[in-house]
Amino acid sequence: MANVAVVGAQWGDEGKGKIVDFLSNRADVVVRFQGGHNAGHTLVINGIDYKLALLPSGVVRTGKFSIVGNGVVVDPWAFLAELDKVAAKGVTVTPESLLLADSAHVILPVHAALDKAMEAARGKSSIGTTGRGIGPCYEDKVARRGVRLCDLREPALLKEKIEAMMLHHNALLKGLGQETMDPAKIYDDLMAIAPKVLPFVGVAWKALEAARLAGKKILFEGAQGALLDVDHGTYPYVTSSNTVASQAAAGSGMGGSSVGYVLGLAKAYTTRVGSGPFPTEQVNEIGETLGQRGHEFGTNTGRKRRCGWFDSILVRQCVIQGGIHGIALTKLDVLDGFKEVKICTGYKLDGKTIDYFPSGQTDQARVEPVYESMEGWSDTTRGARSWAQLPANAIKYVKRIEELIGAPVTLLSTSPERDDTILMHDPFI
């Protein structure tokens, strides 16, 4: 099966945009299968930055078909704004090149209002959401009161659904001390943009089945990272969807056997946005240096990312739980010039060494990293496109990571540029 799923093997921000773009010239179809417009992907092509959120990375390549699957939650206003944004940079997206699954759920203005109100109510215990309504929309989906894109074709039903939904949400807003929202205005605003959105809406699973039967190569593009998975991540400091590769099947409408090769992404160090445990975080000069060199700010939110050493325990756990076949290791060049680099190889908890990250919230906050130190390298790795161009100590570092995580480094990224990539194995073969 010549399909590939690209998923994050840390807390997101691992460089999926570039890797998906790099692989998309080998694919015919690129599919988003979870998340929403909270996950930013940055692509650098011929010196031009493309900052995508909801749109699959395949939209920037001519001749590729992109699909936003049923597992994604869609803010229609953000969708149209993103179309305009990429159009301003010369990328034209049409219904012939992009399909939105008709069963995907719709993010409404009330979802963002609830997201922000709930975060404010949590105070010091805030989760660190983007405030874009992703979580509340998924809550409505599970509670069976959500609005789907297919509902935009049925105005009477849509109006009825919004009125029923707002009985719940306005009671919640009022309880949180916030202003209630008019369901009629939400309905009118949604119907006003429906004619612009509906041409893109269709039956995604049928399109994917047709692509499969035609022997097309499909690339599944994940958002966030496995450590933010609602089941397998650092709960409750997680996103509201499953981010592991098995979700590619459920979130696109294809069978589980269709996912194919699973490529996990990990930085050569570790970053995290928002609240939650982070055993190897460096709140010091090392962390600041990593953040400055790696330009560690959120693509969509601009939030500063927390930085620390590579955690092999967490990545190995993601490899096992996510069925990852190989790793794309990114941002190796950020470590250039460090005299010493460290890798977390275990944790101390209550005086005992453990080789996994515990599920309990209290234990996660208490574990202490056990480090292995390695000699750094002074020569640059930036822009390297072959092993021969890498310093010996950089190669040793990569090889040690492979040993510790139990998976090979399939691709090695040495700059944001698409072609500054060392490909050891083509996942599509």
Amino acid at 310: F
Q: Is the peptide bond before 236 cis (omega within 30 degrees of 0)?
A: yes
Q: How far is Cα of residue 390 from the mean position of the Cα atoms in its chain?
A: 29
The sign of the CA dihedral 99, 139, 240, 38 is: positive
Question: Which of 356, 294, 366, 346 is closest to 319 using CA atoms?
Answer: 356
Three-state DSSP at 250 gives helix
Q: Could you give the residue numbers annotated as active site?
A: 13, 41
Bridge partners, 67 (sequence order): 31, 99
369's enclosing H/E stretch is strand 368-375
Rounded Cα gap, residues 75 and 197, in angstroms: 10
User: CB neighbours of 66 closer than 8 A, spacing ≥ 6?
Assistant: 29, 30, 31, 32, 55, 56, 58, 59, 93, 97, 98, 99
DSSP per position, 91-114:
----TTTEEEETTPEEP-HHHHHH
Residue 99 phi, psi (nearest 5): -125, 130
184: its two tokens = 């009629």
Rounded Cα gap, residues 415 and 332, in angstroms: 8
Residue 323, classified by CB atoms within 10 Å of its CB into exposed (0-12), middle (13-18) or buried (19+), is: middle
Rounded Cα gap, residues 269 and 330, in angstroms: 9
**Residue environment code for 350-387, b if the CB has 16+ CB neighbours within 10 A, otherwise e:** eeeeeeebeeeeeebeebebbbeeeebbeeebbebeee
Cα 357 to Cα 151, 229, 269, 277, 314, distances in angstroms:
42, 14, 17, 10, 7
